[in-house]
Structures are given as C-alpha cells and as structure tokens.
Amino acid sequence: MSPTPGPGPRLARSLAAPAPGWTAEADAIVIGSGIAGLTAALELRTHVPRVLLVTKGRLQSGSTVWAQGGIAAALDPSDSPGAHLADTLTAGGGLSDPDAVQVLVTEGPARVRELMARGAVFDRAADGDIALTREGGHHADRIAHAGGDATGAEISRALVAQIEAVRHDPGIEVVENALVLDVLTTAPAADGARRACGITLHVRGEGSRDGVGAVLAPAVILATGGIGQVFRSSTNPAGATGDGIAAALRAGAVLGDLEFVQFHPTVLWLGSGAKGQLPLISEAVRGEGALLLDVDGHRFMPGVHEMAELAPRDIVAHAIVRQMAATGADNVLLDTRHLGRDFLRTRFPTINARLLEAGIDWSEEPVPVAPAQHYHSGGVVTDLDGRTSVDGLYAVGEVACTGVHGANRLASNSLLEGIVFASRAARDVAARFADGELKPGEPAERPGGSALVAAAARSRIQKVTSAGSGVIRSARSLADVDERLRAVRADAHLAAEVVAEPQAAEWETTNVHMVARALTRAAWLREETRGGHYRTDFPRPEDAWKRRVRVWLDDAGVLQAR
C-alpha cells in the first residue's frame, strides 16, 4: 500500500504580528507591482476615487522585469486567436478552461496594443512590423519581444512610468517596501460567508506609513506573483514567497491547481550548491534554433516529441531529468554555437552578458543547464473577472488560478494573462463600486490563532519540498514531505526555545511553509501524471483526473483538498 500523509493539518488563520499602529482607508487596494498589479492600478485610477497600490519592494521591482522571452498574441495576419487557443489548450493537458482561454486569446491582441499605447516599445522587423518569434508549444510566430530578451523589463518600465506620471494624483497612493500580512474579512453573514474589507501590512518606511498598519477597503486585488522561494532553486526573485496565496488561504479563499508547478527546462547550471534565484536561458533561444544535448553530445529531444526542442515545457523538463538520470549527470547542455556570436549578442544581449559574467562564451561552448522552478500554474481560484470565493477579494496574474494554464502554461502566455485579467478585474471592481455593490465593512477577528515559522527553518523547508514535491514525485516522496513539514513549528513565537520574532523574514517563511503544505497535499491527491505534475507511481494521465483539485481551510482551520 502506498504511504499516505496524515490528516490535513490545522493551520492558523492569521500571521502573528503586532496590532496595527495606524489605519488608512481606500476604495480599492492593489497588491503587487508586476504587469498585473500595475495594469489593475492604472485601470482603477480613472474609475475609483481612492486607489492604494502596495508593493513589496520598490515600484520597479515586480517580477515582470525578469521575463525574458516575450508576450504571446495573435498579432500577425496569418495567425488567429483560434490557433492560439488550440496551442494553449494542448499545452494545458486537458485541464485548461476553454472559456478562460477564449477570453485570453480574443482580448489579448487589444491589450498588447494598449501596452504599446502606454509606451512599451517592442522590437521591429526589417519591414517595420512587430518582430514575432516562436517558442515551445506554439505552431506560429506570435511572440512579441523587446530589447531582444528584455521584454519584461521594457513592459515594466513603460507601466511604472505611467504610474510615476500620476503618483502625486490624490486618487492614487503608492506604498513601497510593504509586506502584506493578512486580508481582513468581515464577520460571517447568515450563510457563513465573509467579505474582504482590507489588509494588514508592514511598511519599512518612515512616518505615518511605518510598521504594522491596516488599510480598510471594500475591494482587494492580489497581484503578488509566484511561489519560487518555496523551492531551493528558482528563476523567481527573492520576494516570491507565496504571500498572496497564503493570505488568501487564511482569509477563506479556495485554491486550485497548486500541484502544477512549471520547472523551466533550461536554467543555467551553477553547481549542486546553487540556490536562490538562478539565471534563466529563455525558451526563445530554442525558438531560434538552439539544440539540447546530453553530456555525451547526444541530441535527445527528437526521439521524445515531434516538436523536439520546441515541445511544451513540461515534456522538455521531464525529458531532461530522465536524460540526466540515464547519464548520471547533474545537467544537460544547450548548444547555440551554430547560431553565431553576432546573432547571439544582438538577439539575446541580457543572456549573453550573464553568461559572460559566469565565464561562459556560448558562441564557443555549450551551456550547462538543468530544470528549476519557474512558474506556478495554480493559485487562488477566480472567475473570468478575477473574483475569488471571498466577496471583494480578487486575484490576477501568477497568484491567480483563472483556468487558462491548466496543467502547464504555454510559453509567453503569462504576461498576456496578467494584462487581460487585470483589466477585467479592474473593470469589474469599478462597475460594482459605481453600482454601490462594494461597500466598506468592519473587520472581524477570525478564529484559529496566529502562525509564525522561524526564518531559520526556510532552507530546510525548501530542501524538503524540492526533494519530494519537485520535478518528479511519488506517494512515498509526498508523504515524506508532509511528515517533515508537519514537524516544522508554526508557533515559533510561542516557543521559548526557538529564536523567532514577528518580522519580515519570519512572515515570509511562514507563507513559504503554508504554501508548501497545501501544494504537497494537492500533489498527493492527484494520482496521475499530467503537465507540470509528474508521479512515478502513476506515470500516465487518467480521464478521471480531468478536473481541478481544490484546496481550502474548513471552519476549524483544517486543510482540505478535493
């Protein structure tokens, strides 16, 4: 009999933190300064009187800046939204919501043109049209890029400039260096439902917006990005600690598709001791003709998939892991030498510079690469307007589970999803605010106590999760992860023998721990292999699992999955 995790753990419904020392009010709060958060804030500003934009670092530090490859949309006359839809559904492994994908591909081209109207400058072909390229899973050239391999940085620059231009507008306030702690909710109504009514946050600043405070608002939009720091190695920045997912779970929201974690196939291999944010070698490099070789020089992808190196990411990542196991190596090789030095420097200037910093000239030698955590297809379950199961709470971008990605995100659909669904969420908030449907509420205490995990435990959590809930999983590995995470104290603030205080490092580590527990529970429940979820004990997809695994906390604070 396969080992099974114990019963769902009881999780606290709030973070251990000092009482708010200050209070503010807004009509809508946007949390995050990536493409989704910035888009939502800009859309809301012209329709809602008081918008508060909260960002964990500086305004320019959203995860979007790290996106290399590009943004996918049917911009070429020879392409079509229908073709884009077909590729997205194929990559999603049978779990993408066709309605959500239809929204993405039909509204996507207009949103990309709005980006250009807001100042984003994309690379142009010789004839003056937008230069389009191809990435894994796409059957047409539909990836627009900027600065060669700096698409995210250009989009972020343009949107931040728009925010900066209106920063002194009394209708929008930007709070930087602020970690959101919890989503505030009202007392339950007769049907047991709670409404979002604001947030608590910790601001590392000066004056009235310093320390722990509370902001009350009838609408909260989470745009907090991904969960990369749940794993030992990731392409995500250090701030990607799953804060939005954890806060939504504590607030009573339903999560979905948590088990579908995308491990990017080609991340620069820097040795077995490497951890934290690792340099990504964009899929666009393979789109331009780069080849994958094992350490013996054998090109292995043509025997795996008809699209070879341009197969969907989950297929390439799993093939690499199998090839590494077969050769006993810690990495494979990405061969770009045939593309030429001039082309590589011009088309991929950022990657070229990072490789040279690492002592690698990719025009002369193959690049050592291996899979690392890159993107999370799951998150807070939403409808097509970004609404979650908690009224007044919205989620957009990577933190959301819109149904677009299913079991595996199609390359370069993430930036597109961010702008399409952020725009829809902002319009929905604006309409409900105008109709008087969104009203201020009084925050109520949620039962279940508070949680705090010592910052010192983070590396152990990451190591355990990476080993058992990483690229390849099994019932045994997942039960082991569950047991080891269960042993991590989540009440460190109450334990005299543990050094832990309510502060940023502990709050982030608590979120990492909570997300790891929820993800592992969902991965254990799904007994099949599909997309970004690979089970050695259930190596094939099963029709019975063509459904979403949902995770939530019940009234007693016990983690449930179904």
Nearest to 181 by CA among 514, 560, 557: 514
| Helix pair 458-468, 504-525: axis angle to 10 deg | 20
pLDDT at 168 (0 to 100): 85
pLDDT at 207 (0 to 100): 54
The 10s digit of each residue's pLDDT in 154-164 is: 999 999 999 99
Residues 6+ apart with CB under 8 A from 406: 89, 91, 92, 93, 94, 95, 96, 97, 257, 260, 377, 531
Provide the β-strand partners of residue 475.
none
Structure tokens at 52: 């508060």
Residues 6+ apart with CB under 8 A from 221: 28, 29, 30, 31, 37, 40, 386, 394, 395, 396, 422, 425, 426, 429
* Pair 92, 406: CB distance under 8 Å: yes
From 157, 195, 286, 313, active-site residue: 313
**Sign of the alpha-carbon torsion through 225, 415, 108, 36:** positive
Place of tokens 């010789």: 126
User: What are the DSSP calls for 168-185, one per residue?
Assistant: T-TTEEEE-SEEEEEEEE
What whole-number distance in Å separates Cα of residue 342 and Cα of residue 470?
37
What whole-number distance in Å separates Cα of residue 562 and Cα of residue 551?
7
Residue 336 has pLDDT above 70, yes or no: yes
- Helices and strands in the chain, H and E counts: 13, 25
User: What are the DSSP calls for 385-442, one per residue?
Assistant: TSB-SSBTEEE-GGGEE-SSSTTSPPTTHHHHHHHHHHHHHHHHHHHHHHTT-S----
What whole-number distance in Å separates Cα of residue 225 and Cα of residue 37?
9
What is the pLDDT averaged over residues 132-153?
92
Q: Which has the minimum average pLDDT: 165-169, 303-307, 423-427, 453-457?
A: 165-169
Amino acid at 319: A
pLDDT at 152 (0 to 100): 94
Percent of the chain with pLDDT over 70: 99
Question: SS3 sequence, 210-270?
Answer: CEEEEEECCCEEECCCCCHHHCCEECCCCCCCCHHHHHHHHCCCCEECCCCEEEEEEEECC
Ramachandran area for residue 450 (φ above 0: left; ψ -120 to 50: alpha; else beta):
beta
Residues 6+ apart with CB under 8 A from 222: 31, 32, 183, 244, 247, 248, 380, 393, 394, 395, 396, 399, 400
Using CB atoms within 10 A of its CB, is residue 435 exposed (0-12), middle (13-18) or buried (19+)? exposed
Residues 6+ apart with CB under 8 A from 65: 152, 153, 156
Strands 332-335 and 367-376: antiparallel
Using CB atoms within 10 A of its CB, is residue 169 exposed (0-12), middle (13-18) or buried (19+)? exposed
| Helix pair 151-165, 98-117: axis angle to 10 deg | 70
pLDDT at 562 (0 to 100): 95
pLDDT at 67 (0 to 100): 83
The 10s digit of each residue's pLDDT in 171-192 is: 999 999 999 999 999 999 999 8
Residue 62 has pLDDT above 60, yes or no: yes
Rg (CA), the chain: 22
What whole-number distance in Å separates Cα of residue 188 and Cα of residue 504?
30
Give the DSSP letter of residue 9: P
What is the pLDDT averaged over residues 378-389?
98
pLDDT at 98 (0 to 100): 98
Residue 53, H or E segment: strand 51-54
pLDDT at 1 (0 to 100): 42
Strands 28-31 and 71-72: unpaired
Using CB atoms within 10 A of its CB, is residue 505 exposed (0-12), middle (13-18) or buried (19+)? middle
* Pair 10, 389: CB distance under 8 Å: no
Residue 376 has pLDDT above 70, yes or no: yes
The 10s digit of each residue's pLDDT in 197-240 is: 999 999 997 555 789 999 999 999 999 999 999 999 899 999 99
What whole-number distance in Å separates Cα of residue 398 and Cα of residue 376?
7
Residue 559, H or E segment: strand 559-561
313 is catalytic: yes
pLDDT at 2 (0 to 100): 54
Residue 3 has pLDDT above 80, yes or no: no
* Pair 18, 378: CB distance under 8 Å: no
Residue 397 has pLDDT above 80, yes or no: yes
Percent of the chain with pLDDT over 90: 84
Angle at 26 between CA 419 and CA 425, to 5 degrees: 25
The 10s digit of each residue's pLDDT in 265-284 is: 999 999 877 776 888 898 88
Average pLDDT over the chain, rounded to an integer: 94
Name the band, by pLDDT with cuts 50, 70 and 90, for residue 559. Answer: very high
